[in-house]
A = this chain, B = another copy of it.
Amino acid sequence: MIVAMAQTATEEEIQYVMSRMMDLGFNVHRTTGTVQTVLAGVGTPIVFDVKDFEVMKGVAEAVRITSPYKLAGRMWKPEGTVVRFANGVEVGGKEVVVMAGPCSVESREQIFTAAAQVKASGAKFLRGGAFKPRSSPYSFQGMGLEGLKLLREVGDATGLLIISEVMEISQIELMMPYVDVFQIGARNMQNFNLLREIGQVRKPTLLKRGIAATIEELLLSAEYILAGGNYDVMLCERGIRTFETYTRNTMDISAIPVIKTLSHLPMLGDPSHGVGRRDKVPPMARAAVAAGADGLLIEVHPNPDKAVSDGAQTLFPEQFEKLMEELRMIAPAVGRKIG
């Protein structure tokens, strides 16, 4: 941490700030300039709030230098993490992996049809929600356990890996036998109790960025999971909230290369939620791969017009098929391939 004292700071104020820095475990180096005194705290306490220093008397500015996360950072693990699955699929490896399927599991017929379609086009994972967090209390809320069983059945039948969203601690054990990847949604990105529990299980987890979360906050949330010993964490950009209203969210494509620099974790993109409009999903999927994403989450439904949720952002199977062909042309430009 660096604390720049105000020009008008008294010696007493400087001493007080120094003592508080030392309390936290910093070695403090003092630089007395002609204009102001600067205190450099060297050392590695990561639990402190730089805001506490900003409001101390005589302080002009306080800046945290070391990042507040460790295990999620590339400094800690320079080579990229590859999440490996029993069937040989890898996320974070040479191949860009695609996870596709409907927003919600609606019926046996729907999910089996969807699975066959996305597999035929090259998806490696089937996505589908069993518990649906909806902003209106009057909307469809998901098939629950029955949906999970259908997912497992279709996964076993097709060889597709299953990813589904876990919304609260009590669902972890329930979902454990049925899914291959836990998905933590944007609204739960800072549900720290849930993150801590997921850190205790040994199952790959995909963590989505919250709509108002900075990149640093996403990495700090990943840290919660990693700190528990669950190292198979994948991250996902799915749009942030801005002033633009034409798209549901603004998909921050730059977060993909930024996170690939800051962290060793695989980084995916979810254009369906990122823009919220079917016709804009293919261009954003292409953009994500061109920017270096390790994979994509895409909503596909046998008949989006009849989908019980998120229909507006869901691709028709033939749109998905065409998109996959385009992605196969783009991947080599970034040294990747798509199966």
A61: nearest chain-B partner, CB-CB:
B65
CA distance A94 to B306 in the complex (A): 37
- Across the interface, do A47 and B136 meet the contact criterion of CB distance under 8 Å? yes
On chain B, the residues within 8 Å of A244 by CB distance are 214-215, 240, 252, 255
A253 at the interface (CB under 8 A from B): yes
Category for how many chain A residues contact B: 35 or more
- Across the interface, do B35 and A133 meet the contact criterion of CB distance under 8 Å? no
Tell me the residues in window 265-300 of chain A with beta carbons closer than 8 Å to chain B beta carbons. Answer: 274-280, 283-284, 286-292
A202 at the interface (CB under 8 A from B): no
Interface 1/0s, chain A 307-323, versus B by CB < 8 A?
A: 00111110000000000
Most B Cβ at <10 Å: residue of A188, A289, A312: A312
A328: nearest chain-B partner, CB-CB:
B333
- Across the interface, do B216 and A246 meet the contact criterion of CB distance under 8 Å? yes
CA distance A2 to B66 in the complex (A): 13
- Across the interface, do A51 and B2 meet the contact criterion of CB distance under 8 Å? no
A152 at the interface (CB under 8 A from B): no
A258's partner among B35, B210, B247, B253 (CB-CB below 8 A) is B247
A53 to chain B, nearest CB (A): 8
